[in-house]
Structures are given as C-alpha cells and as structure tokens.
C-alpha cells in the first residue's frame, strides 16, 4: 500500500486526485491532507479518507477543523502553520507527495519533498519557475522522482523516450522541439478594445478546463503557457528556442514532441486532470482514472494557430525571462502573482497585468539563482516592486 500526502487537497487538483485515489483504495492510502484555510472542505475530506494527519496553514482554521473532527470522532491529527506544511511533505511515512498548492507557497514543501527523496507528482509549476535549477538538483541529489502532472508536461513526458523516472535531459535524444498546446483561454477571439473591460468572473471562465482562480487568470493572459515554457525547460533540459507554443482551441492534444526524423508524437485525451494524475500516480503502470474514452467523432476537428506575442504579451515576457536566466523567472512569477491577485480584487485592469510584470522585471535586477535565499529575496523584492507599480 503506497501512502500519499496531498498538498493543496481542497483545490481543483486536490479534488481530482482524491477522485482517482478513491478508485484504487487497494493500492493507495491517504496519509496526509493539507489546505490553507478551507476547514469545512478539509473536514469533509478527512471524514471520507481518514488521513493520519491534516495540516492547515491557518491557525484558526486548524482549530475549527480540530473541533469538528473531535465531535465527529475522527482520529486525524491536526497541525498548522508553514513549518508543519514543509514537515509533512518530508514525513518518512509517506511515499508519494502530490504538490498541488497554488503559487509560491508551494515552493518550500515541494523542495522538502525532494530532499526527502519522495515521488513528487508536480502540479505546482510555480516551484519550478521560481527555482528550477535548485529543485532539479535537489531531486537528483536525493533520488527523488519528479513526475509532471501539468497536462502539457505530462503529455510530453508520455511522448519522450523515458525509461526511468529520473531522466530530465532530452537534448541529445533526437528531439527537435517540444510543442506546447495552448487553448488561448476565454479571450482568444476577443478584440483588444473588448479586453479593456474584462471582469474577474469572465477571466476565470476557462473554455475547456475547470481550475482554480489563479491558474484560470494565467490561462486568460497566457502567462500560464509562459510559466509552462519555463517548466518544460527545467523538466526536459531543452533551451527556450526548442520549446514552441501553438494555439489549439479544443485542448484535445495536450502537447507534442517533434523528433529529428520528422515524427511528431502527441498525447491526446479529454481535458480532465484525472488522466495525468492517474498516469503519474501509477507510473510505469496504467490505472483507471474515471475519464471518459475520447470520442474523436464528436470532437470532429482539431484546430491550430500561431500564438501572437502582440495578443499575449505575458507569453513574450516569460520567454524573455527564461532567456535572461538567474532569478528573472522568480521575479516574473512573483510579479504575476501580485498582479493576478490585484486583478481578482478589482485593483488592477486585466490589460495592465502584463504592464506590472514588465515594469517589475525592468526594476528588479536578476541574480544567479542557485541559492534558496537569493530566490526568496528576489521573490520578496519583486512583490514589493509590483505593488508599487500597481499603486
Ligand atoms: N487546476 C488545474 O487543472 C491545474 C492546476 N495546475 C497547478 O496546480 C496548482 C494548484 O492549482 P489549483 O488546484 O487549480 O488551485 P486551487 O486554487 O484550486 O487550490 C489551491 C490549493 O492550495 C491551497 N493553498 C492556497 N494558498 C496556500 C498557502 N499559502 N499555503 C498552503 N496552501 C495553500 C488551497 O487551500 P484553501 O482551499 O484552503 O485555500 C488549495 O488547497 C497550481 O500551481 C496550478 O498552476 C496545473 C495544471 C492544471
Ligand atoms: C490543465 C492544464 O494543464 C492547464 O495548465 C491548462 O493547460 C490550461 O489551459 P491553457 O493554458 O492552455 O488555456
Ligand atoms: Mn497546463
């Protein structure tokens, strides 16, 4: 029985992961569940999955959860705080850690899981964007496995000649380029004039995927694809000029690998995160995910279109940051997180998200990024600067 710790259990990836785990109770046991402050939802999950430990980042939420569990006679031990999140990620009693906290808050727990040599199912792309070199080195030094849950990276991983789960360099494996598909988000057909009045509600309404708020806004600006270009660089060891993005509105092809001999391998499926979650959970085996078989006849057609930097300036900024190297991508990530929060709180216009990120990148200087303290300082300075730009 493999013991699973699910970081970010109350989110969209958390829900999908628990759905897959519930289908395979003979193989997997939930060891720990974590959340930020959604105590009610975590309580329901504890009731159903009876984990040994539940961790809430928020102290009051942890107290509420503890009382509810006691009243219900559930023996789950409750812990709280950032240190407890990092500790549970490294707990020797778990084998698999699902990294599904959103944003930079996922970095330290993911690094801790890597240090502890876990199988990490990585959804938290921001951890790699902030600290790609450090995280990959930590994974390799400690015999951890970093398996991509992000649908594009999981697709690429399935199309690469992977013979063990600790391969992260494909530059010399006959690969010409990686082709990441992008839906283009809810505004892919909107005019520049219409974008000026976009509301948070419109921005989080993704046409193909049901996801958390932050990643949904990232999809709408296509910063999500930009973060994914950086993520692909670190996961697969290819430079920016061998990682391309193509618009594919149906989200049926999740990404492709173009080989030197002209073969292009694609992974397809219904847009449902239970597929990559089941794939990484069971790798190298295959298990049922609950996802319906793909009905190509009803899909009917697959469209492709070039992704324009003019239409999606955030994508351009991400490529620039990757090429600049060092802490540039940590600065990009922090500025994006601040700008997206401000947009969701109606403090910033949708079209100004890219401007905030660009101005932050210009103002905060990039440093060599092989040290955690340097990365965290870049993150702090970038947040400060981005808030200044917004005010
Ligand atoms: N959703 C998807 O389909 C996909 C998501 N991803 C990536 O997976 C990650 C999670 O995304 P998603 O599930 O959509 O996000 P959600 O917003 O739905 O869920 C986020 C989870 O993280 C927890 N959380 C938030 N802030 C903190 C914090 N400061 N400390 C600890 N826990 C925190 C939340 O707890 P609480 O509920 O208490 O706030 C919740 O459990 C992101 O990095 C995203 O980019 C990648 C590919 C697809
Ligand atoms: C499901 C997933 O992996 C998301 O990252 C998804 O890719 C978002 O879709 P787009 O960013 O292509 O709109
Ligand atoms: Mn993705």
State the DSSP string of 83-102: HHHHHHHT-TT-SEEEE---
pLDDT tens, residue by residue, 16-36: 999 999 999 999 999 999 999
Average pLDDT over residues 63-82: 98
Asked whether the predicted pLDDT for residue 374 surpasses 90, the reply is yes
Q: How many residues does the chain have?
A: 391
Given ligand 1 and candidates 65, 86, 87, 102, which is best to mutate, with the most ligand atoms within 8 Å of its CB? 102
Q: Is residue 230 part of a domain?
A: no
pLDDT band of 309, cuts 50, 70, 90: very high
Q: How remote is the C-alpha of 324 from its chain's centroid?
A: 22
- Looking at residue 74, its pLDDT comes to 98
Rounded CA separation 339/390 (Å): 8
Measured between alpha carbons, how far is residue 67 from residues 43, 78, 181, 234 in Å? Answer: 10, 10, 46, 43
CA 44 / ligand 1 centre spacing (Å): 18
* CATH number of the domain encompassing residue 38: 3.40.50.720
Asked whether the predicted pLDDT for residue 217 surpasses 90, the reply is yes
Burial class from Cβ neighbours inside 10 Å (0-12, 13-18, 19+) for residue 260 reads: exposed
Cβ < 5 A residues, ion ligand 3: 150-152
- Looking at residue 163, its pLDDT comes to 83
More confident residue, 164 or 103: 103
- Looking at residue 134, its pLDDT comes to 97
Q: Which residue shows structure tokens 């801790």?
A: 112
Number of structural domains found in the chain: 1
Q: Is residue 135 part of a domain?
A: yes
The dihedral formed by the CA atoms of 16, 22, 28 and 31, expressed in degrees to the nearest 10:
70
> Is 153 a pocket residue for ligand 1 (Cβ < 6 Å)?
no
Asked whether the predicted pLDDT for residue 166 surpasses 90, the reply is no
Asked whether the predicted pLDDT for residue 315 surpasses 90, the reply is yes
∠ CA 164-166-168, nearest 5°, is 110
Q: Is residue 342 part of a domain?
A: no
Asked whether the predicted pLDDT for residue 192 surpasses 90, the reply is no
User: DSSP letter string over 195-262?
Assistant: HTT--HHHHT--SS----HHHHHHHHHTHHHHHHHHHHHHHH---GGGEEEEE-TT--EEEEEEETTS
- Looking at residue 7, its pLDDT comes to 98
Q: Is residue 249 part of a domain?
A: no
- Looking at residue 370, its pLDDT comes to 81
CA 254 / ligand 2 centre spacing (Å): 9
- Looking at residue 261, its pLDDT comes to 97
Q: Is residue 56 part of a domain?
A: yes
Query: Which domain covers residue 64, as residue numbers?
Result: 2-148
What would the two tokens of residue 213 be? 């708020």
**Residue among 152, 137, 117, 308 nearest 230 (CA):** 152
Task: Check if the beta carbon of residue 29 is closer than 8 Å to that of residue 1.
Answer: yes
Annotation: binding site for NADPH: 10-13, 124, 126, 212
| Paired residues of 255 in beta bridges | 180, 267
| Nearest-atom index, ligand 2, CA of 152 | 3
- Looking at residue 205, its pLDDT comes to 97
Q: Is residue 105 part of a domain?
A: yes
> Is 57 a pocket residue for ligand 1 (Cβ < 6 Å)?
yes
Q: Is residue 17 part of a domain?
A: yes
Task: Check if the beta carbon of residue 101 is closer than 8 Å to that of residue 130.
Answer: no
Q: Is residue 255 part of a domain?
A: no
CA 222 / ligand 3 centre spacing (Å): 11
Rounded CA separation 45/114 (Å): 26
Q: Which residue shows structure tokens 């190297």?
A: 325
More confident residue, 25 or 191: 25
Measured between alpha carbons, how far is residue 199 from residues 14, 344, 353 in Å? Answer: 26, 8, 13
| Nearest-atom index, ligand 1, CA of 215 | 45
Predicted TM-score (pTM) of this structure: 0.98
pLDDT band of 131, cuts 50, 70, 90: very high
Asked whether the predicted pLDDT for residue 172 surpasses 90, the reply is no
CA 224 / ligand 2 centre spacing (Å): 7
Rounded CA separation 54/88 (Å): 9
Helix (H) or strand (E) holding 192: helix 192-195
- Looking at residue 257, its pLDDT comes to 98
Q: Where are the beta strands (DSSP E) in 248-286?
A: 253-259, 264-268
Largest CA distance in the chain: 64
> Is 272 a pocket residue for ligand 1 (Cβ < 6 Å)?
no
| Residue 118 DSSP code | -
> Is 128 a pocket residue for ligand 1 (Cβ < 6 Å)?
no
Q: Which residue shows structure tokens 């002209």?
A: 262
Average pLDDT over residues 216-234: 98
Residue nearest to atom 8 of ligand 2 (CA): 219
């Amino acid at each position: 029985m493999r013991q699973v710790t699910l970081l970010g259990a109350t989110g969209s990836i958390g829900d999908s992961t628990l759905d897959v785990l519930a289908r395979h109770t003979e193989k997997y046991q939930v060891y720990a569940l974590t959340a930020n402050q959604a105590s009610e939802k975590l309580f329901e999950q504890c009731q159903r999955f009876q984990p040994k430990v539940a961790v809430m980042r928020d102290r009051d939420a942890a107290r509420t959860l503890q009382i509810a569990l006691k009243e219900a006679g559930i023996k789950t031990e409750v812990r709280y705080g950032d240190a407890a999140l990092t500790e549970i990620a490294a707990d020797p009693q778990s084998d698999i850690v699902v990294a599904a906290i959103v944003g930079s808050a996922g970095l330290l727990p993911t690094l801790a899981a890597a240090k502890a040599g876990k199988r990490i199912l990585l959804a938290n792309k921001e951890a790699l964007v902030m600290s790609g070199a450090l995280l990959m080195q930590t994974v390799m030094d400690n015999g951890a496995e970093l398996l991509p849950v992000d649908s594009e990276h999981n697709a690429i991983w399935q199309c690469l000649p992977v013979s063990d789960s600790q391969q992260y360099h494909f530059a010399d494996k006959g690969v010409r380029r990686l082709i990441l598909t992008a839906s283009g988000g809810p505004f892919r057909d909107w005019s520049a004039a219409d974008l000026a009045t976009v509301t948070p509600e419109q921005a989080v309404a993704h046409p193909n995927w049901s996801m958390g708020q932050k990643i949904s806004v990232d999809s709408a600006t296509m910063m999500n694809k930009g973060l994914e270009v950086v993520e692909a660089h670190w996961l697969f060891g290819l430079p920016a000029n061998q990682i391309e993005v193509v618009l594919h509105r149906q989200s049926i092809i999740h990404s492709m690998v173009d080989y030197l001999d002209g073969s292009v391998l694609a992974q397809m499926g219904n847009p449902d995160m239970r597929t990559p979650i089941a794939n990484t959970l069971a790798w190298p085996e295959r298990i049922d995910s609950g996802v319906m078989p793909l009905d190509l006849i009803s899909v009917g057609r697959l469209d492709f279109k070039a992704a324009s930097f003019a239409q999606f300036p955030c994508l351009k900024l991400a490529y620039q940051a990757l090429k600049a190297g060092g802490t540039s991508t940590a600065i990009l990530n922090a500025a994006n997180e601040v700008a997206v929060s401000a947009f969701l709180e109606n403090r910033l216009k949708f079209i100004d998200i890219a401007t905030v990120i660009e101005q932050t990148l210009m103002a905060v200087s990039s440093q060599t990024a092989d040290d955690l303290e340097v990365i965290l300082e870049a993150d702090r300075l970038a947040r400060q600067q981005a808030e200044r730009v917004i005010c």
